[in-house]
Amino acid sequence: MKVYGLTGGVGMGKSASDKLLRERGVAVADTDAIARQIVEPGQPALAEIRASFGPDIVSLDGRLRRDELARRIFSDSAARSRLEGILHPRIRDIWRKRVQEWRAQGLPRAVVVIPLLFETAAQEEFDRIICVACAAGSQRRRLAARGWEAEQITRVIQAQWPVEKKMELAHYVVWTEAGLDAHAAQLARIMP
C-alpha cells in the first residue's frame, strides 16, 4: 500500500482534497477530525487540556471552548506547544492505527491529511507527500468567507510554516486556484 501525507496552509484546500479523494473511494484519515474527536466530553485529552489551561476552557455543558483555546494558543507560543504536546501524540497514534488497518485490508493507497505534517516531523511516515496550495490573497479571502477576522487569519498563518516551504519539501503540489474540477484532475494524476 502506498501512503500519502497531504498537507498545506490553512484555507488552501485540504478539506476539499479530502472530500474529492473519498468520493473516488480513497481511504482518508483527517487529523483535524481526529483532533475534534479526542477532545469530546469524557475524553482524557479534554481532561488534560482542562488541567493545563484551567477549568474555564471547558463550557458548562462539558465541551471544549474552542474559540477561547484558539485565542490563547495563537497569541502564546508556549501555550500552543503545551496543547500540541497533549494532542499530537494521541492524533498520531490514531492515524497510524488506521493506516495499519488499511494495510491489513490490502488497500492499494491511503491518505492522511495533516495540516502540520512538516511541523510535527511526520514526513518520514509517508511514501509521498502532497501539498495543496493557493495564492495568499485567495487564502485570506477563503478564511474571511468562513467568518474569520483579519487578525485571526494572520495569527493562524504565522503559526504554521510558510506554504512555500511546504511546497518545496513535498513530492507533489496541487494548486487549488482553478476550481474543483482542476483540483480533482490534479489529484487523479497523482493517484490514478
Residue-by-residue DSSP string for 125-177: G-SEEEEEE--HHHHHHHHHHTT--HHHHHHHHHTS--HHHHHHHSSEEEE-S
Name the 3-class secondary structure at 48.
Answer: helix
Q: What is the pLDDT of residue 17?
A: 98
Q: What is the pLDDT of residue 33?
A: 97
Mutual angle of helices 77-105 and 44-53, in 10-degree steps: 170
Task: Looking at the structure, give the CATH architecture of the domain made up of residues 2-190.
Answer: 3-Layer(aba) Sandwich (3.40)
The structural domains of the chain, with segments of one domain joined by +, span: 2-190
Q: Which residues of the chain have pLDDT under 70?
A: none
* The three three-digit cell numbers of residue 82, written as one number: 503545551
In the sheet with 27-30, reading across from the earlier edge strand, the strands are 27-30, 109-113, 2-8, 128-133, 172-175
Cβ 167 vs Cβ 133: under 8 Å: yes
Q: What is the pLDDT of residue 75?
A: 86
pTM over cut 0.75: yes
Q: Which helix (H) or strand (E) holds 4?
A: strand 2-8
